[in-house]
Structure 1
Amino acid sequence: AARRSGLQVIVTDHHLPGDILPEADVIINPHLDQMEDCKNLCGAGVAYQLARALGSVPDNDSWLDLAALATLADIVDLNGDNRILVKHGLQRMSVTDRPGLRCLMETGGIKPGEEISSWQIGFILGPRLNAAGRLSHARLSAELLYTRDEQQALYLAEVLNRLNDERKQTEEIILREASLRIAHQPQILQNNVLVLDGKQWHHGVLGIVASRLSEIHRKPVILINWDDDSGRGSCRSIEGFDIHRALQACQNHLLQYGGHPMAAGLTIDKNQLTFFIEALERWSQESGQAGAREERHFIDLEIDPAQINCDLWHEIQALEPFGPGNPVPVLAVRGVELQQAAMIGAEGQHFRARMQGSNLNVIAFRKPQYADFKAGQYRADLTFQLNRNEFRGRTSLQLKIRQMKPAYQWDMSAETPLRPWLREALGLLEQQRAVLLIAPTYRVLNKLQQSLELWLCEAALHGLHGHLSAAQRQAGEQALLSGDPGLYLVSSAYHYYLQKKQSEALNALHSIDVLKSQAEGAAARDQDNGENGPLTLNSGIKAYTVKSGEMPDRGRFAVYVNRLKTIQNLRAGINPLFSEAGLGDIQQRRRVRRQFVQAKEGFLLTDGNACGMPIGEIDGVWMADLPFSTAEIDHIWNEMGIGTSCPLVLRFNQSQVDANQIYLGRLYPDTERIRSMLPALRSLGHGVLQGEVSQFCQVLSRITGRQVSALDLQSVLHVLDDLGLCQFKKKGSIMAIKFMFHAKNSINMSESPYYLEGLAEKKAFHDLANELQQMPLW
Structure 2
Amino acid sequence: FQEGYGLNEKAIDIAFENNFKLIVTVDCGINSICEIRKANNYGIDVIVIDHHQPQKDVPSAMAIINPKYDTNYPFRELAGVGVSYKVAQALYLKLKRNQDDLRNLLDYVALGSIADSVPFIDENRILIKCGLKVLNQTDKEGLKALIVESGVDYGNLGTKEVNFALAPRINAAGRLDDPKLALELLLTDSESKAKYLSRKLSEINKYRQDVGDNILREAREFAFKQVEDEDNKVLVLASEDWNQGVIGIIASRLVDELNRPIIIISKKDGIGKGSGRSIKGFHLYKALELCKDILINFGGHQLAAGITIEYNKIPEFKSRINKIAQEFINEDELNPELEVDAQISLSDINFNLIKDINVLEPFGSGNPQPVFCSYKNMIYDWQLVGQSREHLKLKIKEENKILEGIGFGLSKMGSQIFSESKVVDLAFNIELNKWNGTENIQLNIKGIKAIF
Which interval holds the TM-score relative to the shorter structure? 0.7 to 0.9
What stretches of structure 1 of length at least 5 have no aligned partner?
408-455, 457-778
Going from structure 1 to structure 2, the CA distance change for 1:14 and 1:289 (only over 3 Å counts) comes to: farther
2:220 aligned with 1:179, yes or no? Answer: yes
Q: How many Å apart are 1:229 and its aligned residue? A: 0.8
Classify the secondary structure of the residue corresponding to 1:32: coil
Contact map agreement 1:338 1:376 (CA 8 A) in 2: no
Alpha carbons 1:195, 1:221 under 8 Å: kept:
yes
Q: 1:277 aligns with which of 318, 322, 341?
A: 318
2:166 alignment counterpart: 125
Give the alignment partner of residue 94 of structure 1, picking from 128, 136, 143: 136
Assess, with a 3 A threshold, how the Cα gap between structure 1 residues 57 and 144 changes in structure 2: closer, same or farther.
farther
Residue 333, structure 1, aligned to residue 374, structure 2 = yes
> In the alignment, does 2:100 pair up with 1:59?
yes
Q: Taking structure 1 as reference, are residues 274 and 120 closer, same or farther at Cα in structure 2, changes over 3 Å only?
A: same
1:68 to 110, 124, 131: 110
* Corresponding residue number in structure 1 for 2:32: none
Give the alignment partner of residue 447 of structure 2, picking from 400, 403, 409. Answer: 403
Match of 1:108 among 134, 139, 150: 150
Q: Could you say which residue in structure 1 is the equivalent of 2:269?
A: 228
- Does structure 2 conserve the Cα–Cα contact (< 8 Å) formed by 1:91 and 1:115? no
1:594-652 alpha-carbon deviations (Å, 9 max, x no partner):
xxxxxxxxxxxxxxxxxxxxxxxxxxxxxxxxxxxxxxxxxxxxxxxxxxxxxxxxxxx
Residue pair 2:281, 2:328 contacting (<8 A) in 1 also: no
Which residue does 1:165 correspond to in 2?
Answer: 206
Matched with 2:357 is 316
Task: Find out whether 1:192 has 2:233 as its counterpart.
Answer: yes
Paired residue type of 1:84: I
**Per-residue CA distance 1:50-71 (angstroms, 9 max, x = gap):** 1101106763321111111111
Match of 1:386 in 2: 430
Alignment match, 1:373: 417
Give the CA deviation at 1:348: 2.4
Residue identity opposite 1:268 in structure 2: I
Give the secondary-structure state (helix, strand or coil) at the position aligned to 2:337: coil
SS of the counterpart of 2:293?
helix
For the Cα contact (< 8 Å) 1:37–1:79, is it kept in 2? no
Query: Aligned residue for 1:43?
Result: 80
Deviation at 1:16, TM superposition (A): 0.3
Distance 2:256 2:278 in 1: 9
TM-superposed CA distance for 1:225, in Å, is 0.7
Question: What pairs up with 1:417-456 in 2 under 5 angstroms?
Answer: 456=452
Distance 1:285 1:185, change over 3 A: closer
Task: Report the aligned-residue RMSD.
Answer: 2.0
Runs of 4+ in 1 over 6 A off after TM superposition: none
CA distance, structure 2, for counterparts of residue 86 and residue 205 of structure 1: 26
Q: 1:69 to 1:192 in 2, by over 3 A?
A: same
Give the counterpart of 1:254 among 276, 291, 295. Answer: 295
- Which residue pairs with 2:56 in the alignment? 19
Q: Deviations over 1:82-130 (max 9, x none)?
A: 1111111111111111000000000111344x13212111111111111
Kept in 1, the 8 Å contact 2:140–2:189? The answer is: yes
**Counterpart mapping for 1:642-653 below 5 A:** none
2:226–2:235 Cα contact (<8 Å) kept: no
Deviation at 1:75, TM superposition (A): 0.9
Cα 1:7–1:277, aligned 2, differ >3 Å: closer, same or farther? Answer: closer
1:36 touches 1:80 (CA, 8 Å); kept in 2?
no
User: Are the counterparts in 1 of residues 233 and 329 from structure 2 also a CA contact under 8 Å?
Assistant: no
- 1:305 maps onto 2:346 in alignment: yes
Q: Which residue does 2:126 correspond to in 1?
A: 84
Q: TM-score scaled by structure 2?
A: 0.85
1:217 Cα shift?
1.5
Mark the runs of 5 or more structure 2 residues left unpaired by the alignment.
1-15, 22-39
- Paired AA for residue 64 in structure 2: I
CA contact (8 A) 1:210 1:222 kept: yes
* Mapped partners of 2:335, 2:348: distance in 1: 30
Q: Which one has more relative contact order, counting CA pairs under 8 Å at least 6 apart?
A: 2
Q: CA deviation at 1:234?
A: 0.8
Q: Percent identity?
A: 35
> Partners of 1:57 and 1:106 in 2: how far apart?
32
Between structure 1 and structure 2, the one with the greater Rg is: 1
Provide the TM-score with structure 1 as the length reference. 0.50
- Which residue is 1:364 aligned to? 407
Q: Which amino acid aligns with 1:304?
A: S
CA distance in 1, matches of 2:45, 2:225: 56
Task: Say if 1:317 and 1:204 are closer, same or farther in 2 by CA, change over 3 A.
Answer: same
Distance in 1 (CA, whole Å) between partners of 2:329 and 2:285 is 15
State the Cα distance separating 1:37 from its structure 2 match: 4.5
Is contact 1:219-1:293 (8 Å) kept? yes
Q: 1:36 to 1:307 in 2, by over 3 A?
A: farther
CA distance in 1, matches of 2:441, 2:216: 31
Equivalent residues of 1:250, 1:279 under 8 A apart: yes
